[in-house]
Homo-oligomer: A and B are copies of this chain.
Amino acid sequence: MFPVVVVHGGAGQVPKERSEGSSLGVRMAARAGYAILRGGGSSMDAVVEAVSQLENDPFFNAGRGSLLNIKGEVEMDAIVMDGKTLGCGAVSAVLNIANPIRLARLVMDKTSHVCLTAEGANRFARSVGVPEVPPESLVTEYSRMCWNKEQEEKKGMGTVGAVAVDRQGNVACATSTGGVANKMEGRVGDTACIGSGGYADNQVGAVSSTGYGEAIMKVNLARLILFHMEQGQSVEAASGLGLAYMESRVGGLGGVVTVDPQGHWAARFSSLQMAWAAAQKDTLHYGMQTGEDFTHIDL
């Protein structure tokens, strides 16, 4: 079994002027996650590091760069799940946190709960010494430009995530988002919903989802794909089946990155594009359009 990390930068339509930055961002995040795996680190450490990098990168709709809600505020959701224990942590509608994915992990590690929301999540952050950042530090020129534009136009943009398998065969997932542009205050999407925005189980595999959150929730996309794998489908086939079912049953587009404990991996999407990158056996794979799989050897 070869350790692997697979990263996505959100399913949707990547504007032309942002495509190089997005591709570069997911490749750097995959490298960062892989460096941890290669050093013998855990899949949980790898996915949290990869997603933190994407949260810090203003090209993505998570952390800095999050799309704004109807009031022009950044409200973020994030989730992590550990396939060994089924332990999970999530935050929803949290404000003024640079790395919601690290806060979600602290919910898992430091509380008896799975999910904390809104002011309760911020209160927890303060109690464990996670600093609040000025709201404007998370807002970019681009996210402000998207604000109050026709909502439909931007619906698909979203959500970063990662899945990984480490040397011990443990799988993990992490997903983080600013949500859909112009969302209602307090809207929680699939990202904070265990089994929708992500799921990880050492007996089956791990999935991180992106796309139209309301559709992803209706079909429990991450868990659905893992059920197909339990029925004997490959990571690739199961990911395709899950996305096709979501599109036919509830009309939603999206994308996923998926691994199994043997280190097989897939990056699939039904949206126009999804920036993704995977690192395994010292090789970096990446793409953005359907069918693309570029490789860099000697990572």
Contact (Cβ within 8 A) B214 A112? yes
Flag whether A93 is at the interface (Cβ < 8 A).
Answer: yes
Contact (Cβ within 8 A) B223 A195? yes
With A118-B119, A194-B193, A218-B87 given, is the CB distance from A184 to B92 under 8 Å?
no
Nearest-neighbour CB distance to chain B for A39, whole angstroms, equals 29
Q: How many copies does the complex hold?
A: 2
Contact code string A236-279 (vs B, CB < 8 Å = 1, else 0)? 00000000000001100000000000000000000000000000
CA distance A195 to B115 in the complex (A): 15
Nearest-neighbour CB distance to chain B for A65, whole angstroms, equals 22
Nearest-neighbour CB distance to chain B for A69, whole angstroms, equals 9
Flag whether A138 is at the interface (Cβ < 8 A).
Answer: no
Within 8 A of B (CB), among A129-167: none
For A187, what are the chain B residues with a Cβ–Cβ distance below 8 Å? Answer: 113, 115-117, 120
With A86-B250, A227-B227 given, is the CB distance from A116 to B195 under 8 Å?
no
Interface of A is mostly: mixed
Contact (Cβ within 8 A) B194 A121? no
Contact (Cβ within 8 A) B186 A121? yes
Flag whether A88 is at the interface (Cβ < 8 A).
Answer: yes
Nearest 8 CB-CB pairs, A to B?
A120-B186, A118-B118, A120-B185, A195-B220, A115-B188, A86-B218, A116-B186, A117-B186
Given contacts A112-B214, A116-B188, A195-B195, 11 further A-B contacts (CB under 8 A): A86-B218, A86-B249, A114-B188, A114-B213, A114-B218, A115-B187, A115-B217, A118-B119, A120-B184, A120-B187, A193-B193
Identify the A interface with B (CB < 8 A).
Answer: 85-88, 90, 92-93, 111-121, 123-124, 183-189, 192-196, 199, 213-214, 217-220, 223, 227, 249-250
